[in-house]
Structure 1
Amino acid sequence: MTRSDHPSRAHAGLAALRPVRTRSISPENLDGAPGRGGRATEGTGAEAARDLGQGWKVSPSVDVKAGETFTLADIDSAGVITHVWITTHTDHWRRLVLRAYWDGSEAPAVEVPYGDFFANGWGVFAQVDSQMVASNPHGGFNSYWPMPFRESARLTLENSSDVDARVYYQVTYELGGDHSEDAYFHAQWRRSNPLPTATEHVLLEGIEGQGQYVGTYLAWEVHSNGWWGEGEIKFYLDDDQDFPTIAGTGTEDYFGGAWNFDIPGKGYTAFSTPYLGMPQVLRPDGLYLAQQRFGLYRWHVADPIHFTTGLPRVDIQALGWKSAGRYLPLRDDIASTAIFYLDRPATTRPEPPSFDAMEIHLGPGAGPHSPAGPAARP
């Protein structure tokens, strides 16, 4: 597999003949073996298929038990995951933790709340029309991040809550090819809730090795009146210590917008494009939702940020305005997902997301995070 054949460039070589095989893991074929799909005689759809029998959607989903971890995929040879589709009820989006392990590593390279990984961090659906992540009605989550591995891959889903979660999913991957020069896919989640005064929110720190930073998602809740996005994002590369190599000019600038994302007469305006967007603007409802909440993404696909020896730190400021044209440091709720490729399958990472750390706080009553009930699916 040459560099030009890499799945991230597949659009440029769809007609090329390559020595790989396509496989797919789902509840209908849990190990992805050839000719093993649709053979189930037991499963979550067995009752609905009782008049039809084997081959008729007998096992379309799995139940991830409360407090347990389910293995979505376990692959024991070289390859690359090319697509993940998954869905579950909105109540679970900040209660499930998605993890990925490469080449037998005991430490995960990916450890992110389910919804945040798919740019839906607030437990309320937002349409995302991007190249790497597509989130479609109502909660059909898709990832097109290429995830290569040289020996093995394992994806898991932990249910941190006391309620079972029914999950439908499909992991599509290629077997074969030479991945000896490919970096490993990583994603880390951190939350500042609230952010201490005059302190940057850290997205990454202490990363050693060669690689490239490729993506940011932020779920941001504003705790003050007025504009909240004057803060700069900074990338400390390689030997940077006191000052970074890359310093942005403002939060909305980094995510490709301008002038507060505010179209006169319309206010904050959601948008979603192939590489960047603010697909979610949640406004106060005058009852239980007191703060404005935003979801923003920036995929560095056309402009990856390369580092040679490490990524000491990536952080972002939270700044508004106060009197006399002075900046106001904010104490907002900021949850970040940082995505990067690295030359090793494991690296320094924060504490695993817990139920309490992920929780979305609401006042009494239902609100949008407690819909009437699960969708009527078998």
Structure 2
Amino acid sequence: MSASVFSLGGDLLSSAAKRKTARTARVASWDHTGKNEDAFVVLPGESATLCDIEGPGTLTHLWFVQTCRKIMGPGLIPYSKSGVAMMEIHNALGLTYEVSDPDYYRKVIIKMYWDDSETPNVLAPIGDFFCVGHSMAANFQSLPFTVSVKPSEEKKFGGAAAFNCYLPMPFNKRARIEIENQGDEAYFQYFYIDYELFPEPLSDDTLYFHAMWRRENPTNGWAPDYIQTNSLETQVKNLDGKDNYTILETEGAGQYIGCNHSVAHFQGTWWGEGDDMIFIDDDTWPPSMHGTGAEDYFSQGWGMQKNAYPFAGTIIHEEDVPNHQVSYRWHLPDPVRFSKKIRVTLETGHANHLRDDWSTTAYWYQTLPGPKLDILPVAQRIPRKPEFPAGDKPQNPNLQVMDPTKKAMVEQRQDRMEAFVKDRNEWLARRAADSKKRAEENIEFAKDVRKRFLEGLKE
């Protein structure tokens, strides 16, 4: 049987009517005991293996739902008696007092490894990989990614959300996905990782999925903040692109398929006007692809609009969240191909005059081995947030001069908090140990699926 039968590609709709020798399978966080503790728990400073699958095959779909809660006060329902991963009860009712960690989408990172790769081929904060910029959850839909957010969580830092990714991720020998919790609270991960297995190796022209996140905070703008965007004073030349923001730089052969882009703009004018410049292989000047403005690169115009199309659009618009914008552009029908190397860049304002907070996740396919990726320390990944209350916070009262009855109630709260946290920590430790066991069992389950698939082909 020809290996080309198992190569990637084909029309999305017509492929449903074409027979293919493959086995569809899934690795998930389901509770192997048959109960309902359907989430992996990853304690602070620890990692979890979500999947470790032997190929040849292709990951076809990722569904992730997650939470990371800060306990602000003792609840009336101990976690060991609740049976849920988080208390979805409004704090105003007095039954619970807990909030989502507003920064956990940046504190938790996702890593993916293909075949013999010793370093990650995908390395990004969990939120930014799934297009949640600034750790701020927002509904959006595109062809390769969707994010679904409850109305009460929309545009909140750390808001609860469901993520989906439909980009194919091929592997010949092995596919491994890990989550690393670099935060200081326990992290919960529900997940599906759907995939196909093939009986023969992928074709030689197969490229491997990569993604990386980076941030400049601030960008290296040359102008003082009082130089207005689009003013006469910004009209200087940029005829080399050397100081542009770099979205992606890699060597090898492959194709760039797009990015998400988050910006916090400080001047209160307009963050755009920066041209996209993509240098391919042996480009000098001008590059193979030179654009006319950031909004133009993201397939919009006259600024950014509040829409989300299959291949380009807005996730967070600056009119809804002042001074913040999250955009995306997918080069799926028009991939940017390279044979030796590529550098994808964008001016930070015309001729790079703006000093703003920019972060991007780049997505591309290329030959192995890919580049050795790295990521900023967790402290440098935290998004900017407005502070409330402004100025100095009200001081707590002096307990030494407090009425004895009221002071006793304050002390009672401390006793209840200690008991509540102790119970929850014991529950978390049990859940985390069970998650590690489940991860090991999932590897064996995947091996068994592959064995039965190959044996079935011999019948």
Question: Could you tell me the TM-score, scaled by structure 1's length?
Answer: 0.80
CA apart distance, 1:283: 5.4
Residue 295 (str. 1) matches residue 297 (str. 2): no
**Aligned 1:242-253 pairs, distance under 5 A:** 242-253=285-296
Kindly provide the amino acid, as one letter, of the partner of residue 268 in structure 2: N
**Aligned 1:287-326 pairs, distance under 5 A:** 292-311=323-342, 313-319=343-349
Q: Write out the 4+ residue segments of structure 1 that deviate beyond 6 Å after TM superposition.
A: none
Partner of 1:51: none
**Aligned 1:171-320 pairs, distance under 5 A:** 171-176=193-198, 177-180=200-203, 181-198=205-222, 199-205=243-249, 207-261=250-304, 269-282=305-318, 292-311=323-342, 313-319=343-349
Kindly provide the amino acid, as one letter, of the partner of residue 43 in structure 2: K
Asked if the contact 1:102–1:345 (Cα under 8 Å) also holds between the matched residues in 2, the reply is no
CA apart distance, 1:160: 1.0
CA distance in 2, matches of 1:183, 1:66: 34
Give the root-mean-square deviation of aligned CA atoms: 2.3
Asked if the contact 1:71–1:155 (Cα under 8 Å) also holds between the matched residues in 2, the reply is yes
Secondary structure in 2 matching 1:271: coil
Kindly provide the amino acid, as one letter, of the partner of residue 98 in structure 1: I
Asked if the contact 2:42–2:48 (Cα under 8 Å) also holds between the matched residues in 1, the reply is yes
CA distance in 1, matches of 2:206, 2:193: 20
Q: Note closer, same or farther for the CA distance 1:364–1:115 as it changes in structure 2 (3 Å cut).
A: same
Partner of 1:338: 362
Asked if the contact 2:7–2:202 (Cα under 8 Å) also holds between the matched residues in 1, the reply is no
Partner of 1:32: none
CA distance in 2, matches of 1:124, 1:227: 21
| Structure ranking higher in strand proportion | 1
CA distance in 1, matches of 2:359, 2:348: 12
Asked if the contact 1:103–1:345 (Cα under 8 Å) also holds between the matched residues in 2, the reply is no
Asked if the contact 2:56–2:197 (Cα under 8 Å) also holds between the matched residues in 1, the reply is yes
**Deviation sequence 1:314-349 (CA, Å, 0-9, x none):** 1111116xxxxxx77100100011111001142143
Asked if the contact 1:228–1:318 (Cα under 8 Å) also holds between the matched residues in 2, the reply is yes
CA apart distance, 1:241: 3.5
With 119-128 and 78-87 compared, the bigger mean Cα shift is at 119-128
CA distance in 1, matches of 2:358, 2:253: 27
| Structure ranking higher in helix proportion | 2
Asked if the contact 2:58–2:197 (Cα under 8 Å) also holds between the matched residues in 1, the reply is yes
Q: Note closer, same or farther for the CA distance 1:299–1:19 as it changes in structure 2 (3 Å cut).
A: same
CA apart distance, 1:281: 1.9
Kindly provide the amino acid, as one letter, of the partner of residue 39 in structure 2: S
CA apart distance, 1:282: 4.9
Q: Note closer, same or farther for the CA distance 1:283–1:68 as it changes in structure 2 (3 Å cut).
A: farther
Q: Note closer, same or farther for the CA distance 1:96–1:106 as it changes in structure 2 (3 Å cut).
A: same
Asked if the contact 1:278–1:297 (Cα under 8 Å) also holds between the matched residues in 2, the reply is yes
**Deviation sequence 1:150-190 (CA, Å, 0-9, x none):** 10010011111111111111100001154232100001111
CA apart distance, 1:260: 1.2
CA apart distance, 1:4: 9.0
Partner of 1:164: 186
Partner of 1:144: 166
CA apart distance, 1:353: 3.5
Secondary structure in 1 matching 2:19: coil
CA apart distance, 1:284: 8.3
CA distance in 2, matches of 1:223, 1:297: 21
**Deviation sequence 1:343-365 (CA, Å, 0-9, x none):** 1142143x323211210122433
CA distance in 2, matches of 1:60, 1:103: 29
CA apart distance, 1:273: 0.6
Secondary structure in 2 matching 1:122: helix
Asked if the contact 1:8–1:146 (Cα under 8 Å) also holds between the matched residues in 2, the reply is no
Kindly provide the amino acid, as one letter, of the partner of residue 220 in structure 2: P
Secondary structure in 1 matching 2:273: coil
Q: Note closer, same or farther for the CA distance 1:247–1:3 as it changes in structure 2 (3 Å cut).
A: farther
CA apart distance, 1:227: 1.7
Kindly provide the amino acid, as one letter, of the partner of residue 273 in structure 1: Y
**Deviation sequence 1:284-304 (CA, Å, 0-9, x none):** 88xxxxx61111000000100
Residue 365 (str. 1) matches residue 343 (str. 2): no
CA distance in 1, matches of 2:318, 2:274: 20
CA distance in 1, matches of 2:271, 2:63: 34
Question: Could you tell me the TM-score, scaled by structure 2's length?
Answer: 0.66
Q: Note closer, same or farther for the CA distance 1:101–1:216 as it changes in structure 2 (3 Å cut).
A: same
- Identify the match of residue 65 of structure 1 among 29, 34, 43: 43
Asked if the contact 2:109–2:126 (Cα under 8 Å) also holds between the matched residues in 1, the reply is yes
Asked if the contact 2:134–2:384 (Cα under 8 Å) also holds between the matched residues in 1, the reply is no
Secondary structure in 2 matching 1:93: helix
Task: Report the identity percentage.
Answer: 32
Kindly provide the amino acid, as one letter, of the partner of residue 123 in structure 1: S
CA apart distance, 1:127: 1.4
Long gaps (5+) in structure 1:
29-37, 42-53, 262-268, 286-290, 321-326, 368-377
